[in-house]
Amino acid sequence: MEKIILTGDRPTGKLHLGHYVGSLRRRVELQNSGEYDKIFVMIADAQALTDNADNPEKIRENIIEVALDYLSAGLDPEKTTIFIQSQVPELAELAFYYMNLVSVARVQRNPTVKTEIKMRNFESSVPMGFFCYPVSQASDITAFKATTVPVGEDQAPMIELTREIVNRFNHIYGPTLVEPEILLPDNAACMRLPGTDGKAKMSKSLGNCIYLSDTPKEVKKKVNSMYTDPLHLNIEDPGHLEGNCPFIYLDAFSCDEHFSRFETGYANLQEMKDHYTRGGLGDGTVKKLLYNILEETLAPMRERRKVFEQDIPQVYEILRRGSEEARAVAAKTLDEVRAAMKINYFTDAELINAQAQKYKK
């Protein structure tokens, strides 16, 4: 069986370091591993509109931001099909059929949807489109027969629902769809990178993000103001690692090799952590190392971004071509789905014959 990846992001803002370690870095690695037959990365504008119906301008502007983030992070349109969800209308059709296979109660139990409804104060009036987005996500995945979906853990309930829909569909209509597997980030720090204020997660509304497109000055300022250990007042005091942002970020970004290259005096992160908890290591030293490591990742991205920013029509052309390619693949799956569901009236000669026989006098 072919190995196929599909994943994506809602274009509601620029991408930040949480997106990077949670999924973007992995996508680039998977792309360059050569192990996958096809890779699709989708800008989920239709999904973003489910809770931004009154703000299409925001979605429109962020499509190009997200595309620039993708390209500067190293997604290569020669190897990865980057496309825009709304430009593949087959996805909406597929979602319409899947809605018959899922109960309202099933979606109501989805923990991610539950949290999002609370966060958006939708409790008394949830838009139908928003409520149904987990079902539409199942069509995003299955339209491309994806075997692997690299996402953060908040997306796990969506993949679970997709697998249920696939099983239900194949059981009723015959084997047609492929059951996907989730691919989660490597460690806890990558799974849930906290904001620079130490709050649960990076989020635009909390203003605690480091963006991939931030300048070195912005990155430095944000790293220097990171939440550490409020009890670590003097360098000699023993420090605590729990909830200590610079150390959590080092968990997500550093490797042993960084420690020799930046001449830290430690062989690895563990030695540095030990010194911190013993006492005698200041936050400033930890932050400086983190800044250097982050800049090593971000500087080449900024360079690539500059080039693409000077040729925006070319970026749209990449998205247009990607969407065209994606549409062809989704259309082929839709043909199979319609045949399995027996709604392929005009291409099913057997059906036409049978009906003709039935009515013939």
| CA-to-CA separations, 60 to 22, 147, 240, 315, 327, in angstroms, rounded | 24, 30, 43, 14, 20
| Residue of 80, 110, 137, 228 interacting with ligand TRP (CB under 6 A) | 137
Helix (H) or strand (E) holding 315: helix 312-340
Burial class (CB in 10 A: 0-12, 13-18, 19+), 304: middle
| CA-to-CA separations, 357 to 222, 343, 348, 361, in angstroms, rounded | 75, 19, 15, 9
Token pair, residue 274, equals 């030990």
| Residue of 4, 5, 10, 226 interacting with ligand TRP (CB under 6 A) | 10
Q: Taking the complex as a whole, how short is the minimal distance between the CB of residue 273 and ligand TRP, in angstroms?
A: 31
Stretch that binds ligand TRP, among 1-9, 189-197, 199-207, 281-289 (CB under 6 A): 1-9
| CA-to-CA separations, 321 to 75, 83, 84, 154, 326, in angstroms, rounded | 15, 8, 10, 30, 9
Q: Is 330 in the site for ligand TRP (CB under 6 A)?
A: no
Q: Taking the complex as a whole, how short is the minimal distance between the CB of residue 138 and ligand TRP, in angstroms?
A: 8
Q: Under rule CB under 6 A, which residues in 295-314 are in contact with ligand TRP?
A: none
* N-to-C CA span, the chain: 49
Farthest CA pair distance, the chain: 100
Closest CA to 111 of 164, 153, 157, 159: 157
Q: State the binding string over 43-72 for ligand TRP (x if CB under 6 A, else -).
A: -x--x-------------------------
| Residue of 68, 151, 301, 318 interacting with ligand TRP (CB under 6 A) | 151
Q: Is 9 in the site for ligand TRP (CB under 6 A)?
A: yes
Q: Taking the complex as a whole, how short is the minimal distance between the CB of residue 64 and ligand TRP, in angstroms?
A: 17
Stretch that binds ligand TRP, among 8-16, 50-58, 118-126, 248-256 (CB under 6 A): 8-16
Q: Taking the complex as a whole, how short is the minimal distance between the CB of residue 235 and ligand TRP, in angstroms?
A: 41
- The residues binding ligand TRP (CB under 6 A) are 6-10, 44, 47, 137, 140-141, 149, 151, 155
